[in-house]
Amino acid sequence: MTVFELEKELFFQTYRRLGVHIKYGDGVFLYDYEGRKYLDMLSGIGVNALGYGNEKIKSAIIEQVNRYIHLSNLFFHESQVNLAKLLIQFSGYKKVFFTNSGAEAIETAIKLTRKWGKRFGKNIIVGFSNSFHGRTIGALSLMDRDKYRNGYEPFLPGISVLRYNDIDQLEENINHSVAGVFLEFIQGEGGIIPADKKFVEKIFELREKFGFLVVADEIQSGLWRTGKFFAFEHYGVKPDVVAVAKPLGGGLPLGAVLGNERVADVFSIGTHGSTFGGNPVACSAGCEVIKELSKIVEKINSVGNYLKEKLEGMKLRHPIIKEVRGVGLMIGVELSIECSEIVRELLNKGVIANCTRNNVVRLLPPLIISESEVDFFIEKFDEVLNEIKQQKFKVQI
C-alpha cells in the first residue's frame, strides 16, 4: 500500500492533505519523492521561520539530545531558563510558562485570566468573531465559526464572542465583570485581517476604565512574522498576557505564555503544570530560533515590503484581486473568486500556499526568503491568474 492509502486506512480523517509525499526540505524549498521542488510560501503554517535544515537548530538539537531528551519539571532545565531569558529580553514581560502548542498556551491563558479574575469578582472572558485560537474546547469557546465548533457543544460558560472591529458592540458589552479580552491583532486563519487602530485603542481605553486583562494571541503573528517581535507593537500598546507558539520551537512542539506584573503571582505551586511543556530539546532549538531571527529583522521588513509591492502591482493587472492585506511576511490576498483551485494550480507549478476563508490566499513564507524567491512566487501566481482569464481551469465565483 502507498503512504496515501495507509494514511486513509490508519488515521482519523481530520486533514485535507495535499497529494504530495515530501522527502526532505532545504532552505525555503521542499522536495518530494518524484523529484519535484516546491517553494514553501506557507512554512508549515507559520512554523518553519528559519526554513528547512537550519544548521544552528540542528546542532542545538543534537547537543541537547546527547545530554537528555526529557526531564520532568521537578528539575531545573538550563535550556528552559535560557529561552525564558531571551523571550523576556525581547518582549519586556515578567514571567513565562512553557506549553506544547499554541492551543495549550491559549488554555493556559484562559486559566490565568480566570484565576486572576476571581480576585476581583470578574468572571467574563471576551473573544471576537472570525478568530482562531486552536482546537481545544477552551479555544473553541473563544471563537464563533461553525466550521470549527459544530458538534462540540457545550462550550465553556462565561465567554462572550463580540464582533471583531466593532467599537459600538465593544462599548455595549464591556463592564466591570469582564476579566479578560482575547485578541488576535492580525487574524491569521480568519483571512489576514488586522485589527483597526481605533478598535485597539478603544480596548485599551476600556481596560483602563474597567481593569480587565488584555490577552494577545501571537501564535501565528509573533516572533518577527510581521517585522516586529509581536504584532501588537505596530499599535503602540502592550497587552498583559501573550500566547506564542508556532515558530518558537524551530519545528518542534513548543508554546509559551508571557505575563506582566499584573499576573506574575497568579499561578502558585501545583495550580498549573505540563508534563512535556518546555521540553529541553524544543527549548534548545527555540533559543537558536530567537537568536537567528533577531539578526535578520531588517531583511524581514525589506522582503515583506517587496512582496507586498509586487502583489499590489499584480492587483493592477488582475481585477480578481480585491485586496492585499497584512504586514511583514504575514500576507493575505483576497480574491473575488474561490481560491482552492488557485492554490492547487500553484502547487502544480511548484509553489505551496494556502486558501483560507474560501477566497484569501494566505502567505506565511519562511522569514529567510529572498527577493529572487519572491519573484519566483509572483511569476507563478501571475501565470495562474492569467490562466483563469484564459479559462484554462474552472474556479467558483
Summarised one tens digit per residue, pLDDT across range 117-135 is 999 999 999 999 999 999 9
Domain residue ranges of the chain, discontinuous segments joined by +: 3-53+296-395, 55-294
Look at residue 397 and tell me whether its pLDDT is greater than 60.
Answer: no
pLDDT score, position 395 = 63
Element at 362 (helix H, strand E): strand 360-363
pLDDT of residue 390: 83
Specify the pLDDT at position 63: 99
Q: Is the pLDDT of residue 114 over 60?
A: yes
153 pLDDT more than 80: yes
Average pLDDT, integer, range 351-380: 98
pLDDT at 118: 98
Can you give the pTM of this predicted structure? 0.96
On the question of a common fold for 3-53+296-395 and 55-294, the answer reads: no
CA-atom Rg of the chain in angstroms:
21
Task: Tell whether the model's pLDDT for residue 271 goes beyond 60.
Answer: yes
What integer is the mean pLDDT of 104-110?
99
The predicted model gives 369-384 an average pLDDT of: 99
Is 393's pLDDT higher than 70?
no
Mean pLDDT value of segment 15-21: 93
The answer to whether 283 and 82 have CB atoms below 8 angstroms apart is: yes
Give the Cβ contact number of residue 326 at 10 Å.
Answer: 26
Which of 120, 240, 131, 250 minimizes the C-alpha distance to 175? Answer: 120
Please tell me the predicted confidence (pLDDT) of residue 394. Answer: 61
**DSSP strand E in 169-238: where?**
178-183, 186-187, 193-194, 213-217
Interval 90-108 mean pLDDT: 99
Average pLDDT over residues 317-331: 98
Residue 396: per-residue pLDDT: 60
pLDDT at 4 over 90: yes
- CATH for 55-294 is 3.40.640.10
- pLDDT, one tens digit per residue, over 163-204 is 999 999 999 999 999 999 999 999 999 999 999 999 999 999
Q: Would you place residue 238 in the very low, low, confident or very high pLDDT band (cuts 50, 70, 90)?
A: very high
Sign of the Cα pseudo-torsion (86, 262, 202, 187, in order): positive
| pLDDT tops 80 at residue 2 | yes
Strand partners, 160: 126
Rounded mean pLDDT, 214-219? 99
332: left (phi > 0), else alpha (psi -120 to 50), else beta? beta
Record the cell numbers describing residue 68, joined without a space: 537528555
Per CATH, the number for 3-53+296-395 is 3.90.1150.10
- Distance CA(63)–CA(375), nearest Å, equals 37
* Degrees to nearest 5, angle at CA 49 with 46 and 55: 145
Percent of the chain with pLDDT over 70: 98
84 to 8, 120, 347: CA distances (angstroms): 40, 29, 38
- Alpha carbon 177 to its chain centroid, in Å, reads 29
Q: How would residue 389 be classed by pLDDT, with cut points 50, 70 and 90?
A: confident
